[in-house]
């Protein structure tokens, strides 16, 4: 047995778990389709980044076995096999969902059913709305194959011109709705835009013979390879690279099953892809399109009620700074409102006693109140420093815009340390209170993004403890290049001290066990990939430390193997909210220590990113977080157990009381940490 699972195949297993959410018949149909969509958009990103990098290795002739014992071409082949199976499963599930939609009175009509009145209505729609925005392009010697943008839907046609076969394509315009509602149909009926175009394709290539058509989609390499060494102006270089992303090498070609074989082989040649990069799709392409499906609101029961985060008494009315002075503040979103964090920054921007605000920004939402607050603070003459990470994957463009906007307003915008992505989430507010300087710090596991804060589970800690304030100052000085050493005392910072600190914490548990005491760790994260950490966990397991891991996504650690990892269990929770918080608990021989972090146990987090691990000094908050971990461990509703063979087994109720962590936390009634602890203890 291998010591490590393959990370790519482990990721596919994670996406499979996401897809399986869509089979939960207790869930409203649109929520189920949301998981179908998430599966697709996840897969797109996987191809654009991970599969693209494996392809690059293969092209470069890199043929070295990875830790899981696979060569790059073997992994590529395995991915192809697995994805094909998963796609099959996805379409089965989608068909079930579409059937359920029909039960609810919503029909999705495909092009083979366009007849009679329907065809007439669609003809009018095509002529008035679709045809004017289409740009068909033929392919011949004078006109090489037209450029096909990443992830766009296109229709390829086989034309016969003067007895010669020609290809022509037309892009499905994204300015129009993908799902078109038929106005004259008796039932609520939708058709797909690409079907409408295919149906009337002859009108586009008028006078030419259209022999065959197919919808297809290309996924391209979208990883940004930026040589920062040559970058005089990083902002400009990234801007250029983002523009070029649309033209990366083709990594995957999706085409409708049953497409003309000549078309298939021509596309394979044009996009320079092999057979294991071609995916024949039985059904609708780009199922992420379900995100945009908005049936009439009058049809009830299609969607679950949107959850409204709770506002706790301390969040309203009082001065945020006074609240934090009275005691550290803990927020667990989406259950607790993220507004308090936004408010903290907004109030800081307006408060005349605030002298400076420093903040890291990784991903922010569209019309971010936080960005507005920072601009406002700069307007009011405060010293505002924003550390914007330009290379936040797929948010580069967004972040470039913020960076420019903030700079214009006089915010001191910095782009972090060469070669390291700044992924940490920290804000420092410097305030002068009765002639003394007081520092307020926010530390989080998730982004300053009010939109994702309603969907992701993240934890936030606000404090004005002097030692944390000092460390926050040192941190900002370091990342802004005004200090050469990370000399923080309480905050662990990667890539400087974080890895070593994790090792020390695990070693301490080993030591406790060796001294005849209990050793226990509970760690929750998004992914566990780092070989060093995995080996350290094996060492701890062998020493007798109990290790309970809650890993949402990739996990390369092999649990439950005698002599290697018999004391390690791994579970994964996939549910209504995306598990995003990183929590690390160490039993420490009856003196538990709990830490939150922006970092997963991934090599990139520990070695190539600026990340933070921070201790929870407040005993009540620490107890609350520990109880949340216990709740996650007890969840038997949305949990999967990783087995030694690499498969994930759904944790069933097996006669036990059903416990759903998300539901429990949504419904718990509490006004403060004490009540939370008391009530949750009563449940678990």
Partner 1 sequence: MNSIYAAIDVGSNTLKLKIVQYSENGISVLDDISKGVKIGEDVFAKGNIEHETVKEIVEIMIRFKQVMDSYKVDMYRAFATGAMRTAENNLNVIEIVLMRSGIKIEIIEDTMEKFLTYKSMRDNIDDYRKIRESSILVELNSGSCDVSIYSGNKLVFNEEFTLGTLVLKNIMQDIEDMTINYPKVIAELIESRTCHMWRLIEKRRIRNFLMLGGETTILKNSLFCGLDTISRQDFENVHRRIFSDQLCFRKEIEEYGMDWYEFVACILVYQVFLKLVDTESMIFPAINLRDGMIAEMIEEDYCLARYKVFNNDVISLARNASARYKSCSRHCREVEKNGIKIMKELKKHFSFDERDELLLRLAAILHEIGKFTRAKNYLAASFHKIRNLSIMGTNYHEMMLVAHMCRMLTDMQLSRGSIERLSQSDRNRILKLSSILSIADALDKSKKQKIKIEKIIVTDEKLKIIASKSMDATLEEWNLGNRAKEFVKTFGLVPELIEAGYDE
Residues that bind partner 1 (CB under 8 A): 355-356, 382-383, 412, 430, 432, 435-437, 466, 470, 473-474, 477, 481-484
Give least dist CB 66 to partner 1, A. Answer: 30
Question: 147: Cβ–Cβ under 8 A, 6 or more apart, which residues?
Answer: 247
Task: Give the distance from CA 109 to its chain's centroid.
Answer: 32
Active site residue 512: no
Phi, psi angles (nearest 5°) of residue 384:
-115, 125
If the CB atoms of residues 295 and 469 are measured against partner 1, the closer one turns out to be 469
CA torsion 602→603→608→614, rounded to 10°?
50
DSSP code string of 177-213:
-SEEEPSS-SSEEEEEHHHHHHHTHHHHTTTSEEEEE
Give least dist CB 440 to partner 1, A. Answer: 14
Whether the CB-CB separation of 148 and 169 falls below 8 Å is answered with: yes
Secondary-structure percent of the chain, ordered helix, strand, coil, rounded to 5? 40, 25, 35
DSSP code string of 423-490:
--EEEEEEEEETTEEEEEEEEESS-S-TTGGGTEEEEEEEE--HHHHHHHHHHHHHHTTS-S----SS
Whether residue 334 is preceded by a cis peptide bond, meaning omega within 30 degrees of 0, is yes
If the CB atoms of residues 26 and 484 are measured against partner 1, the closer one turns out to be 484
If the CB atoms of residues 302 and 384 are measured against partner 1, the closer one turns out to be 384
Distances, alpha carbon 497 to alpha carbons 446, 489, 510, 594, 665, in Å: 21, 10, 20, 17, 34
Given 199, 332, 423, 442, which residue is catalytic? Answer: 423
Question: 231: Cβ–Cβ under 8 A, 6 or more apart, which residues?
Answer: 237
Distances, alpha carbon 343 to alpha carbons 221, 321, 332, 569, in Å: 39, 10, 15, 39
If the CB atoms of residues 430 and 555 are measured against partner 1, the closer one turns out to be 430
Strand pairing of 568-573 and 546-551?
Answer: parallel
Question: Tell me, what DSSP letter sits at residue 278?
Answer: E
- In the block, which residue shows the tokens 């003809």? 123
Question: 124: Cβ–Cβ under 8 A, 6 or more apart, which residues?
Answer: none
SS (H, E, C) 582-624: EEEEECCCCCCEEEEECCCECHHHHHCEEEEEEECCCHHHHHH
In the chain, how long is the greatest CA-to-CA distance? 89
Give least dist CB 408 to partner 1, A. Answer: 17
If the CB atoms of residues 113 and 466 are measured against partner 1, the closer one turns out to be 466
Give least dist CB 500 to partner 1, A. Answer: 12
d(CA 234, CA 240): 10
If the CB atoms of residues 485 and 657 are measured against partner 1, the closer one turns out to be 485
If the CB atoms of residues 225 and 489 are measured against partner 1, the closer one turns out to be 489
If the CB atoms of residues 108 and 357 are measured against partner 1, the closer one turns out to be 357
- Report which secondary-structure segment, H or E, holds 33: helix 29-45
Burial of 301 (0-12, 13-18, 19+ CB in 10 A): exposed
Beta-bridge partners for 4: 557
If the CB atoms of residues 432 and 531 are measured against partner 1, the closer one turns out to be 432
Give least dist CB 581 to partner 1, A. Answer: 31
Residues that are catalytic: 423
């Amino acid at each position: 047995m291998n010591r490590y699972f393959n990370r790519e195949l482990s990721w596919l297993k994670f996406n499979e778990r996401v897809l399986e959410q869509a089979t939960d018949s207790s869930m409203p149909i649109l929520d189920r389709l949301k998981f179908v969509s998430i599966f697709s958009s996840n897969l797109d990103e996987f191809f654009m980044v991970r599969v693209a990098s494996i392809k690059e290795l293969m092209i470069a002739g890199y043929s070295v076995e990875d830790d899981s014992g696979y060569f790059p071409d073997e992994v590529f082949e395995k991915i192809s096999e697995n994805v094909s199976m998963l796609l099959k499963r996805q379409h089965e599930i989608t068909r079930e969902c579409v059937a359920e939609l029909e039960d609810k009175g919503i029909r999705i009509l495909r092009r083979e059913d366009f007849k009679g009145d329907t065809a007439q209505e669609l003809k009018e729609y095509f002529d008035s709305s679709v045809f004017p925005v289409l740009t068909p392009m033929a392919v011949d010697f004078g006109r090489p194959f037209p450029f096909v943008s990443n992830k766009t839907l296109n229709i390829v046609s086989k034309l016969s011109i003067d007895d010669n076969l020609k290809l022509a394509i037309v892009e499905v315009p994204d300015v129009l709705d993908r799902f078109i509602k038929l106005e004259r149909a008796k039932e609520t009926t939708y058709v797909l835009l690409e079907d409408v175009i295919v149906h009337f394709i002859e009108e586009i290539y008028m006078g030419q013979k259209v022999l065959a058509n197919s919808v297809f989609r290309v996924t391209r390499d979208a990883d940004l390879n930026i040589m920062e060494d040559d970058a005089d102006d990083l902002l400009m270089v990234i801007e250029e690279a983002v523009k070029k992303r649309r033209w990366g090498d083709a990594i995957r070609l999706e085409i409708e099953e049953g497409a003309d074989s000549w078309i298939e082989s021509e596309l394979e040649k044009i996009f320079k892809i092999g057979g294991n990069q071609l995916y024949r799709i039985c059904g609708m392409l780009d199922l992420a399109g379900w995100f945009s499906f908005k049936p009439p609101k009058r049809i009830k029961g299609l969607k679950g009620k949107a959850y409204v985060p709770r506002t706790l008494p301390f969040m309203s009315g009082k001065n945020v700074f006074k609240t934090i002075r009275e005691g550290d503040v803990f927020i667990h979103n989406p259950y607790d409102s993220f507004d308090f964090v936004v408010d903290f920054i907004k109030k800081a921007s307006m408060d005349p006693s605030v002298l400076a605000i420093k903040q890291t920004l990784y991903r922010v939402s569209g019309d971010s109140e936080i960005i507005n607050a920072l601009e406002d603070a700069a307007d009011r003459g405060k010293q505002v420093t924003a550390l914007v990470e330009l290379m936040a994957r797929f948010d580069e463009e967004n972040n470039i815009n913020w960076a420019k906007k903030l700079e214009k307003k006089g915010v001191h915008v910095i782009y972090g340390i060469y070669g390291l992505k700044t992924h940490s989430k920290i804000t420092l507010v410097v305030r002068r209170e009765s002639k003394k300087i007081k520092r307020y710090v926010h530390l989080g596991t998730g982004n300053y993004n009010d939109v994702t804060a309603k969907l992701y589970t993240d934890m936030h800690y606000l404090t004005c403890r002097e030692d944390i304030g000092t460390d926050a100052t040192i941190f900002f000085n370091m990342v802004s290049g005004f200090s050469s050493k990370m000399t923080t005392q309480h905050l662990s910072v990667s890539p400087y001290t974080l890895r070593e600190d994790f090792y020390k914490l695990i070693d301490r548990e080993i030591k406790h066990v060796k001294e005849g005491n209990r050793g226990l760790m509970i760690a929750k994260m998004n992914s566990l990939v780092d070989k060093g950490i995995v080996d350290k966990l094996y060492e701890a397991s062998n020493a007798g430390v109990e290790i309970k891991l809650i890993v949402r996504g990739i996990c390369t650690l092999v649990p439950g193997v005698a002599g290697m990892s018999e004391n390690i269990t791994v579970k994964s929770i996939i549910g209504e909210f995306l598990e995003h918080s990183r929590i690390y608990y160490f039993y420490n021989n009856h003196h538990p220590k709990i830490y939150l972090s922006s970092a997963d146990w991934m090599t990139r987090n520990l070695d190539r990113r600026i990340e933070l691990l921070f201790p929870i000094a407040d005993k009540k908050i620490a107890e609350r977080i520990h109880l949340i971990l216990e709740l996650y461990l007890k969840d038997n509703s949305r949990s999967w157990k990783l087995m030694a063979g690499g498969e994930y087994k759904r944790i069933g109720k097996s006669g036990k009381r059903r416990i759903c962590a998300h539901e429990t936390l949504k419904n718990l009634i509490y006004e403060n940490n004490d009540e939370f602890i008391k009530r949750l203890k009563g449940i678990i």
